[in-house]
């Protein structure tokens, strides 16, 4: 039995709309209307007049005062798509760089895992990373140009999640979670693993609530602690 296909999934700009939430936070801090801040931004938010120092201060206030990581809107389709992939056997590994600053890690971690539950994002493990890019995934979904480049430099396969600030990057790109799903399914098949057809939802008790209702209890579908353990169990 082969090991599961591991999908490394970034959070900000991929699962969660960081730009929208940060824009609202900066507007609150400045007491201006959010529409006065363009959403067509480069990576450093220079369009909003931010430099590295002022970015970090607004980011800190957004995380601590506004609980940005608990409240930011999910990107369309992320929950449904990741549930389908997880149900088909894809190992979802959340990879986030949210501990980049040396303050309030408790808030960042608690709000992050709370957000994942609230927005019904399935995952089997989660990595809070600093600079080290490579955590052993078969495919990464990532939006940050420097992370994409670092991963590709380590020979990792990376699918760029389209954002205004990463359009200079070439290679694999998805504009929506539907496009992510297509690439992942193709990659699973190309890797020589089987990709099961989805079960029809009609007629299955409770199936209609599968994506919108209560998430499965811990231990039901996501019981294994590592891809290797899953292989041993299967
Ligand atoms: Mg990101």
| CATH code of residue 117 | 3.40.50.1000
Do 174 and 161 lie in one domain? The reply is yes
My answer on whether 119 and 152 are in the same domain is: yes
Q: What is the pLDDT of residues 182-231, one digit of tens each?
A: 999 999 999 999 888 765 555 555 444 555 555 555 444 454 566 666 55
More confident residue, 205 or 21: 21
Compute how many other C-beta atoms are within 10 angstroms of the C-beta atom of residue 179.
Answer: 17
Same domain, 101 and 31: no
Given 51, 71, 91, the domain boundary residue is: 71
Two structure tokens written together for 68: 């940005």
Q: For 5-18, how does the pLDDT look when each residue is reduced to its tens digit (9 = 90+)?
A: 999 999 999 999 99
Residues 179 and 118 in one domain: yes
Confidence (pLDDT) at 230: 56
CA distance 128 to 96: 5
Q: How many domains does the chain fold into?
A: 2
Phi, psi (deg, nearest 5) at residue 128: -95, 105
Whether 10 is catalytic is yes
Give the count of beta carbons closer than 10 Å to the beta carbon of residue 155: 7
Residue 118 is predicted with a pLDDT of: 97
Paired strand residues for 16? 12, 74
Question: Domain range holding 83?
Answer: 6-15+74-193
Q: Are residues 100 and 189 in the same domain?
A: yes
Active-site residue, selected from the candidate residues 10, 17, 111, 138: 10
C-alpha of residue 200 to centroid of ligand 1, in Å: 33
Q: What is the pLDDT of residue 144?
A: 94
Q: Identify whether residues 188 and 140 lie together within a single domain.
A: yes
Residues 141 and 117 in one domain: yes
Helix residue spans in 119-217 (DSSP H): 145-153, 177-190
Mean pLDDT, the chain, whole residue set? 87
Q: What is the pLDDT of residues 60-72, one digit of tens each?
A: 999 999 999 999 9
Question: Could you tell me the distance, in angstroms and rounded to a whole number, from the CA of residue 139 to the centre of ligand 1?
Answer: 15
Ligand 1 center from residue 142 Cα (angstroms) = 6
What 3-state DSSP class applies to 112?
helix
Whole-model pTM: value is 0.84
Residue 172 maps to a domain? yes
Active site residue 87: no
Q: Please tell me the distance between residue 18's alpha carbon and the centre of ligand 1 in angstroms.
A: 8
120 and 36 together in one domain? no
Q: In what order do the strands lie in the sheet with 6-10?
A: 125-128, 91-96, 6-10, 139-142, 158-161, 173-174
**CA dist 100 → 5, 65, 108, 165 (Å):** 28, 17, 10, 19
**Range from 61-70, 104-113, 127-136, 179-188 carrying the lowest mean pLDDT:** 127-136
Residue 95 pLDDT > 90: yes
Q: Is residue 62 included in any domain, yes or no?
A: yes
Domain identity same for 41 and 124: no
Has residue 88 got a pLDDT over 60? yes
Quote the pLDDT of residue 221.
46
Same domain assignment for residues 182 and 105: yes
The catalytic position among 12, 17, 66, 138 is 12
| pLDDT of 104 over the 80 cut | yes
């Amino acid at each position: 039995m082969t090991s599961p296909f591991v999908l490394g999934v970034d959070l900000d700009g991929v699962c969660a709309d960081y730009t929208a939430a940060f824009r609202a936070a900066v507007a609150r801090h400045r007491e201006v209307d959010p529409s006065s801040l363009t959403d067509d931004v480069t990576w450093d938010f220079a369009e909003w007049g931010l430099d590295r120092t002022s970015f970090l201060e607004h980011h800190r206030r957004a995380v601590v005062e506004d609980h940005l990581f608990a409240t930011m809107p999910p990107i369309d389709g992320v929950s449904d798509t990741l549930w389908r992939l997880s149900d088909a056997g894809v190992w979802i590994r959340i990879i986030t760089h949210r501990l980049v600053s040396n303050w309030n890690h408790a808030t960042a971690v608690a709000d992050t895992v709370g957000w994942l539950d609230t927005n019904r994002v399935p995952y089997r493990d989660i990595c809070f990373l600093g600079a080290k890019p490579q955590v052993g995934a078969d495919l990464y979904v990532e939006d940050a140009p420097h992370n994409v480049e670092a991963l590709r430099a380590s020979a990792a396969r990376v699918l760029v999640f389209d954002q205004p600030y990463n359009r200079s990057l070439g290679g694999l790109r998805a504009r929506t979670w539907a496009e992510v799903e297509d690439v992942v399914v193709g990659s699973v098949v190309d890797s020589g693993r089987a990709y099961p057809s989805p079960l029809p939802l009609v007629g299955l008790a409770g199936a209609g609530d599968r994506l919108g209702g209560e998430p499965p209890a811990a231990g039901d579908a996501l019981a294994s602690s590592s891809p290797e353990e899953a292989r041993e169990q299967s």
